[in-house]
Structure 1
Amino acid sequence: MNDVVRKFNVLFLAVFFLFMLLLLRLTELMLVDGPLYARAAEHISDKRVSVSGSRGWIYDRNGLPLAKNETVFRLTFLDEGLSREDVVALTAKLEAVLKSLPRDKNPVYNNRVDILRALDVGWRYEAKTGDEEKARAAIQRLREGTPFRPEEWELKEAPLSDPRYVPRTIPVDLPPEVVFRLEEEIGEYPGVRIETAARRVYVYGDLAPYVIGYTRPVRSTSSKERYDELLSLGYKPEDPIGEVGVEAAYESVLRGVPGTAIVRSNALTREQTLTVEREPAAADNVVLTIDARFQRTVETILAEEIGRINATIPDQKRDPVKEALAVVVDPWNGDVLAMAKAPGYDLNCWNNLDRPECYKEVERGFFNPLLDGKYPPGSTFKPLTVLFGLQKGLVGPNEKIMSTGTYRIGTTVKHDYKPGGHGPTDGLKAIQESVNTYMYEIGMRLYRRVGGVKPAIETVRRFAEPFGLGTPTGIDLPGEGTFLPGGGTEVGRIADMMIGQYDFYTPLEIAQYAATLANGGTRMRLHVVRSINEPVENSKGPGPVRYPIEGEVLNRVDVDPRWIAYVREGMRRVTQPGGTAAAAFAGAPVPVALKTGTAQRVQVTVPGTNRVRYKYDTLAIGFAPADRPEIAFAVIVPGVYSLSGNTAAPIARRIVDAYFGAEPPAPLEPVTKAADRDRAKE
């Protein structure tokens, strides 16, 4: 009995003791820690932030991916209210990690000055030297591996670029071995997390850069108003946004549907948590009208022909041709099959602007001459002149105008390129042999009919517009320019207009003009996107078509079909014996209708000599096959010391051969495979 009582007493005392401990702890929580927790509760704040969706891919017309996303590991930072000392310690630790990466993989964020700038915590390092140029040199030395010396730098307060609750990203791709090491030590890096991100990759590098375009981080936006607007639309500072090309034109399609998350911050404990509220969704994909293999072949042809021209034309060796352009379209629906300029530029360089090898690359991306370059059409305008003369009753189809080699307008004497002239010339021969005096006569008859140069020029312009010259093509790319009107009102300027030496047009306008002739007089809107497609799991192809982009008729020319057929026959004869492109098109795989053009551009002194010569822009427009065209094209080679017959026409011939299988396609290799092959050679 006594044992039972004793055991009961022990149990009672133990329970009583535990109860008293609990009571004391409860009292402490209420009286001592209560105000602290109350204050903490008052300092808890919730912020709703955007979570980016996956950007859509860009494919060629055959389903080859051209722009895609690759998953990479990056460091993000969410400010936990670090003290100045904590910031200094954190940047030093991050410097040790990021400096271990190969410099070609991380040319900038390998030092604490740039790392602190990326963290954007309200502090920054400034070089103690007061000289701006010396300060830039000091940062460059750090990037090249010079150790950080605290005595050379001072920590200063700096305004925040974004609110503290917006995560910052250090834009450096981390290799797996670094990720594994950091994950084990992440507690030593306050506010730092390792997260996956999507890096935009252009699969073939410099393929079709003037079509595809590129993205840049929202943070790179130069306008503060635009930057704030993008943030209000749910973009994050590190999100990609299309700058030019399809990436910009179809930004609303390619941008992933953002989700939302709640960031809960406690100002006292410096803790932050992120909870996804609504999952983001993948964007639609875009399928282009471009055929990637044909596009690459056209780019290769342009580059090779630039080399040939510079090697074979004597003065070109001293003053080389710098570029060549070509546009190839389907005349029946406006599909752009190839839109090329050589040299191009590597689209991936826009995500690696700190790499020296990318400097020259990106310079070529600032201006798109295919969209906004201005070029005189030269003799490629002559089919329109003949068509105009026939439609307006200024000449007849069988009427012959004598070409003696010269044509006098007042006190000015103009010439044919052929000494002694071409003899009796009708419209077909005028196109085939590119007879200037025939065109001059049409211009002067118009001048006499309307009573002045200005009304004559405006009459021709109104006639040219429905064919695509002097008006936007409607292409679905941003930044399209249009024609540059010529100047001067002296009588001879109407003669210049008739041979394509007055107004200037874009390559797209000239290509649309060729396509309108090719299909018999229907101007189709040019477009580079074929369809918008639904996303599919694991990005296995472009996905089902959400909606196709059909060909759109802009207008039909009000011209007698007989005269269009007449002009088309004249263009067919250009590639036949006696035509200006007969040599270039001998043995072509299909009949080709063509018109060459050589526009006098500028008079220069040839470098290294005392000789003064004209430089020309040489052109070729046409379509093939001549009777039922599948393609229409425009080729432009600016800055040539020779005629179009041995510059632009051979390029046009090779493009026709490539399309119809008579020239093998150029290799099309993803940049990753090319890089692997080059490393294997080292």
Structure 2
Amino acid sequence: MSKKKKSHIPIRLNILFSIIVLLFGVLVYKLVDLQIVNVSNYQTLSNQTKAVQVKTDVTRGQIYDRNGTLLVGNQSYTTIDYTRKTNDAKEMVEVAKRLAALLSLPNNELKERDLKDYWALTHVEELNSRLNSQEKRLSGAELYEVQLSKITDDDIVYSDEEKKVIMIFTRMNSVSMLESVSIKNRDVTSLEVAQVTDQLQSLSGVSIGSDWERVYPQGEILRSLFGSVSTEKTGIPETEANAYLAQGYSNNARVGTSYLEKAYETVLKGSPKVTTVMFDSNHKIMSSQETFAGKSGSNVMLSIDLELQKKVENILTSFLANGVGERGLNDSIYAIVQRAKTGEILAISGKKYGYDAQNNKYTFEIQDNVLGAINANYNMGSSVKGATVGIGYKYGIITETNNVLIDSPIQFQGSAPISSVFNREGTMALSDVEALARSSNIYMLRIALAVGGQTQIEDQGLLTIRPDTLSVLRKELGAYGLGAYTGIDLPNESKGYAPNDSVNVGAAYVSFGQYDLYTPLQLSQYVTTIANGGIRYAPRLAQDIRSAENMLNSSGTLQANLAPSIMNTIDLTSSQIGRIQEGFYQVTHNPYGTDYSTFSSYYPSVSGKTGTAEAFYNGDIKQDTQVEVDNRTFVAYAPSTDPEISVTVVIPNLEPNSPRYRADSPGIVARNIFSAYYNR
């Protein structure tokens, strides 16, 4: 029997354990050295180095219409950039001189202060010699201001080539450590790129980069609604600097400063490129490494239908063009199209005549005024009466089975007579539906006064409503969007205008649209709320957010769908809302309806409400501010039975003697807009 082989495993284990013990010993030694023996040395070394993160802007996201048509894009440019890596002004001057020899640059941006700053920097000893002993004891900004005062006009006479150097240096000196600035960001030639690239080794901080600016392929369509983006020179707005800096923006970051560009800044801006820079104790750069490549901004797809938008703009332009040459004060027109069940804005437009301030007259050049649809406010007249009927139902003043009120002229002590256009002298019993179809002012007045506790009304009698009646009515009207912020995804929308609350008779007039002033957008939100059965949606311009990573789809792949935002729901039953809707239907389908002639045979069926408000002209021509005019409005939706869209038209400042002074003018404009939508 042979001997059993001896195993080598214990020997290998012993060797492995020995190695582990040795390595552990080395680790312990290093820890002792780090934390006890040489702790002060390592701490000093740590203090001598510093890591700084540098952020560089990326390309901004673009804006498209709902069908993927580009509305706001970017035009890219090659740039010559400078990243400040030193506070040594003399080094920067040397770089500026080298760049000046390579680049073609205008020098007309220079100010006297720039020239003096440069002279002070390059003539330190001579400048100090001009100070007296008392001035030399000054310090900081106070000293520098005195030094600048010693610089004469003769000192700052420079050649064009020297001015080019000064301009480059001024730009370089305008940024803080590790911030970047474009030395030349337009019209950079291939020769300049080649020359700078060839000498980059001797041009510390200089690089070849890229810049962009916003372009608008559709011209002026919705241009003002898109808003603006700051330049690298203007950077973040001074008034909002703290907020932007707290979010990690740099001072010269390009940001949206108004409207859609500002509203969707966080989406459009993207994520900046991040570079980690290590400095030694002398503030010299030890290393630089890109730690995040950056990500371009996301694209915003709007709810706007560009083709419909163009048609609506043409309709409004044609309306104003028909009045060119008239003296008439009707200077503008507005229209909005919304999806009834989401609040999305499909088209929004405003047009106005140009104004010659020097000669105080209209030029009759038709200009875009889409912002007026959001910020201009007017008395809207009877188109708001649907909300007043809703208030009557909410407060139990009328019911579905008991809703007849008397329409007859009335005059309260100390106020003007009030009556309905169709009934200046007689007495008529009207239901809620008839009151809407015929547009009864008195029916609405009775509801408003009953809300205030006054149910008995006598001619030449007193108003005895509660003092808070107008405030209560305004709150209820606000639930429909009238006199309230609509919640649109834009900054700085107007809330309209509400006169003094202490006037009791205001409660009567506000009930039929003759007291408070509303914006076209508020009127649009109101009719959309009635159309969909009582849900008040925030009007929305952005439909969804998309990334541009999928190059097969120019508008990008879906990142986020922006769901409709509900502001509130009207506190009425569906059948009560149905009564208001029936009243709107009778406006356009009953022979006594106020817009029967325009829509009685129109397909699909349209329901709506007309409005006429007596007002004073409030346009640009100052001597006419007391001229009496009418504001004509029309709000509608279609189809009547299952509304798809709402249309709002506002035509202010119509004079009774104007050829365009027709009760059905806004209705005709609305009909053309419905046709533009359904005949796409």
Same fold? TM cut 0.5: yes
What are the within-5 Å matches in structure 2 for residues 234-633 of structure 1? 234-262=248-276, 275-310=289-324, 314-316=326-328, 319-321=329-331, 323-342=332-351, 368-395=371-398, 403=407, 406-412=409-415, 413-418=417-422, 420=424, 424-426=428-430, 427-449=432-454, 451-487=464-500, 489-538=502-551, 540-576=553-589, 577-585=591-599, 588-602=602-616, 613-633=627-647
Task: Report Cα offsets for 1:354-403 as digits up to 9, x if no partner.
Answer: xxxxxxx9x989x9444444333311111222333345443566766565
Cα separation, 1, equivalents of 2:229 and 2:614: 38
Farther-moved stretch of structure 1 (413-422 vs 504-513):
413-422
**Separation of aligned partners in 2, 1:124 and 1:222:** 28
Deviations 1:507-554 (A, max 9, x none): 332222111110111222332222222331548323332232222433
TM-superposed CA distance for 1:73, in Å, is: 1.0
Q: What do residues 602-627 of structure 1 show as CA deviations (whole Å, max 9, x unaligned)?
A: 26899799996313333221111112
Quick one: distance in 1 between partners of 2:619 and 2:344?
42
Identical-residue share of aligned pairs (%): 23
Kindly indicate whether residue 113 of structure 2 is the aligned counterpart of residue 98 of structure 1. Answer: no
- 1:208 aligns with 222
Alignment of 1:85-164 (within 5 A): 86=94, 89=97, 93=101, 97-99=104-106, 111=108, 113=110, 160-164=173-177
> Where does residue 671 of structure 2 map in the other structure?
653
On the 8 A contact 1:234/1:258 being kept in 2, the answer is no
Contact 1:584 1:650 in 2 (8 A): yes
Structure 1 residues 387 and 310 mapped into 2: Cα distance closer, same or farther (>3 Å)? farther
**Aligned letter for 1:334?**
G
Alpha-carbon distance change, 296 to 123 in structure 1, aligned in 2, over 3 angstroms: farther
Q: State how far apart, in whole Å, the 1-side matches of 2:171 and 2:192 are.
A: 30
Q: CA deviation at 1:629?
A: 0.7
8 Å Cα contact 2:496-2:518 kept in structure 1? yes
| Contact kept in structure 2, 1:606 and 1:612, CA below 8 Å | no
Of 492-501 and 474-483, more deviation after overlay is shown by 474-483
Work out the CA distance in 1 between the residues paired with 2:600 and 2:105. Answer: 61
Give the SS at the match of 2:490.
Answer: coil
Q: 1:384–1:224: structure 2 CA closer, same or farther, 3 Å change rule? A: closer
223 and 525 in structure 1: CA distance in 2 versus 1, 3 angstrom threshold:
closer
Task: Give 3-state SS (helix, strand or coil) of 1:542's partner.
Answer: coil
Q: Distance in 2 between matches of 1:87 and 1:116?
A: 21
The superposition leaves residues 288-331 of structure 1 with CA deviations (integer Å, 9 ceiling, x where unpaired) of: 222222223223322332323455xx441xx450x332222112
* Distance of 1:75 and 1:464 partners within structure 2: 57
Shift, 1:499, TM fit: 1.0
Cα distance in 1, alignment partners of residues 641 and 56 from structure 2? 55
Separation in 1, partners of 2:54, 2:621: 60
- Alpha-carbon distance between aligned partners in 2 of 1:552 and 1:608, rounded to the nearest angstrom: 41
Question: Normalization by structure 1: what TM-score?
Answer: 0.70
Determine the structure 2 residue equivalent to 1:144: none
- Residue 500 of structure 1: how far off its partner (Å): 1.0
Q: Distance in 2 between matches of 1:608 and 1:500?
A: 25
Task: Report the residue type matching 1:341 in the other structure.
Answer: G
Q: CA distance change for structure 1 residues 425 and 115 in 2, over 3 Å: closer, same or farther?
A: farther
Matched, 1:56 2:61: yes
Q: Deviation digits for residues 553-603 of structure 1, max 9, x if unmatched? A: 333322233332222122122223443333444653421111122223326
Partner letter of residue 336 of structure 2? V
CA positional deviation for 1:205: 3.4
**Which residue of 1 is the match for residue 125 of structure 2?**
none
SS in 2 for 1:449: coil
User: Aligned partners of 2:514, 2:239: CA distance in 1, in Å?
Assistant: 44
TM-score (norm 2): 0.70
**Cα gap change, 1:603/1:300 in structure 2, threshold over 3 Å: closer, same or farther?**
closer
**In 2: Cα distance, 1:395 partner to 1:194 partner:** 74
What secondary structure is seen at the aligned counterpart in 2 of 1:494?
Answer: helix
Structure-2 separation of matches of 1:112 and 1:252: 32
| More displaced 10-residue stretch of structure 1: 264-273 or 62-71 | 264-273
Structure 1 pair 220–499 and aligned structure 2 pair: CA distance change class (3 A): same
In the TM superposition, what whole-angstrom CA distance separates every residue of 1:57-84 from its partner, at most 9, and x where no partner exists? 2222212222233321122124564549
Match of 2:37 in 1: none
Cα 1:272/1:229, change in 2 over 3 Å: farther
Q: Say whether the 8 Å CA contact 2:545–2:560 is kept in structure 1.
A: yes
Of residues 193, 204, 211, the one that matches 1:197 is: 211
Residues 295-304 or 580-589, more deviating:
580-589
Secondary structure in structure 1 of the residue aligned to 2:675: helix
Distance in 1 (alpha carbons) for counterparts of 2:80 and 2:109: 15
1:106 aligned residue? none
How far 1:421 sits from its partner (Å)? 5.2
Residue identity in the other structure for 1:113: L
Give me the whole-angstrom Cα distance separating, in 1, the residues matched to 2:64 and 2:663: 36
Work out the CA distance in 2 between the residues paired with 1:292 and 1:595: 27
Aligned CA-pair RMSD: 4.5
Residue range with higher mean Cα deviation, 474-483 or 420-429:
420-429
Does the CA contact (< 8 Å) of 1:289 and 1:527 recur in 2?
Answer: yes
Q: Which amino acid letter does the alignment assign opposite residue 382 of structure 2?
A: S
C-alpha separation in 2, matches of 1:539 and 1:603: 53
Consecutive unaligned residues of structure 2, counting only runs of 5 or more, are 1-46, 123-152, 154-158, 355-364, 456-463
Task: State the distance in 1 between where 2:649 and 2:83 align.
Answer: 53
